[in-house]
Amino acid sequence: MTPAMSTVSLATLALADSRFPGGGHAHSGGLEEAVHRGTVSGSEQLAEFLHGRLHGAGAQAAVFAAAAAHAAARGVPPDHWSLLDAELDARTPAPAQRAASRAQGRGTLRAGRSALPSRALDELHATTGSPHHPVVVGVLLGAGADRSPADTAAAMAYLSISGPASAAVRLLGLDPFEANAAVTALRAETERIAAEAARTAGHRPGSLPATSSPALDLLAEQHQRHHREEGRLFAS
C-alpha cells in the first residue's frame, strides 16, 4: 500500500507550481523537440509522453529530491552535497539534460534562498555552485519547510510532468483542461514512484537507484543542436 502523504504545506505548493522561478514552466522537459518532430501532436500522445517521462526522468528526480530532503533534515557534512550532486550527474548522461537541470537548479536556488533560507541550502550552494534541480528542491523542502522525503519526492515527480503539460498548452494549443487531465490521470503512479523514492532516501549517494530515459536524452541533445543552429543563422 502507498503510505498516505502528510498535509501539504504552502512551501510544497509553491515549489510544485511550474511558474516558480526555475520551475517546469521554464523547461518543457523534452516536449518542445517532440512536438517539433511530430512525435507528440495531441492529447493522446501527450499522455504517453508524460507517462514515459514520469517513469524515467521523473522517477530519477524523485529519488534524488527525497535523498536531499532526508540529508537536509538530519544534517550532513558539507561534502555530502558534492557527492549527491556528482551521483546525479553520473545518472544524467546527456550534457543537455545536465545543463537544463542545473539551470533550473540555479533559478530555484535564488528564489529559495529568499523564501526558505537554511544552513543546508547555503552549504549546498557553497559546495556545488550550480546544483541540480532535484537536489535544490529536496534541500528546500527538507530543511526549509520540514517536509518528509515522501512529500518531497511527490512534489518532484509532479513537477516532472506538470511542466511539459503546461508547455503542451502553448506548443500545441491544447485545451488546458485536457493537459491537466493527462497529469491527474497519473496520480496513482506519481504517488507510487514517490513512495519508492522515499524508501531509498537514506541510502548512500552511490547506492541510490538509477533509471534511464534514452529517448529524452536524444530529444534534449537535438533540441540544443537546433538552438545552436538558429543562433548561428541569426548571427550570420
105-147 pLDDT per residue, tens: 999 999 888 888 999 999 999 999 999 999 999 999 999 888 9
| Tens-digit pLDDT profile for residues 41-85 | 999 999 999 999 999 999 999 999 999 999 999 999 999 999 999
CB–CB of 56/216 below 8 Å? yes
Domains in the chain, number? 1
* pTM of the predicted protein model: 0.89
Residue 18 has pLDDT above 70, yes or no: no
28 occurs within a structural domain: no
139 occurs within a structural domain: yes
Helices within the chain (DSSP H only) = 10-16, 31-37, 43-53, 59-74, 79-90, 95-115, 119-128, 133-139, 149-172, 176-184, 187-199, 214-235
CB–CB of 135/85 below 8 Å? yes
70 occurs within a structural domain: yes
Q: Identify the burial level of 137 via C-beta atoms within 10 angstroms of its C-beta, where 0-12 means exposed, 13-18 middle and 19 or more buried.
A: buried
Q: 23: which residues sit within 8 A by CB, 6+ positions away?
A: 15, 17, 104, 107, 108, 159, 163
21 occurs within a structural domain: no
Residue 8: strand, helix, or coil? coil
Residue 2 has pLDDT above 90, yes or no: no
CATH number of the domain to which 168 belongs: 1.10.4190
17 occurs within a structural domain: no
4 occurs within a structural domain: no
80 occurs within a structural domain: yes
Q: Which of 165, 104, 171, 153 is nearest to 3 (CA)?
A: 153
Range of the domain at 131: 41-229
**Rounded CA gap, 56 and 70, in Å?**
22
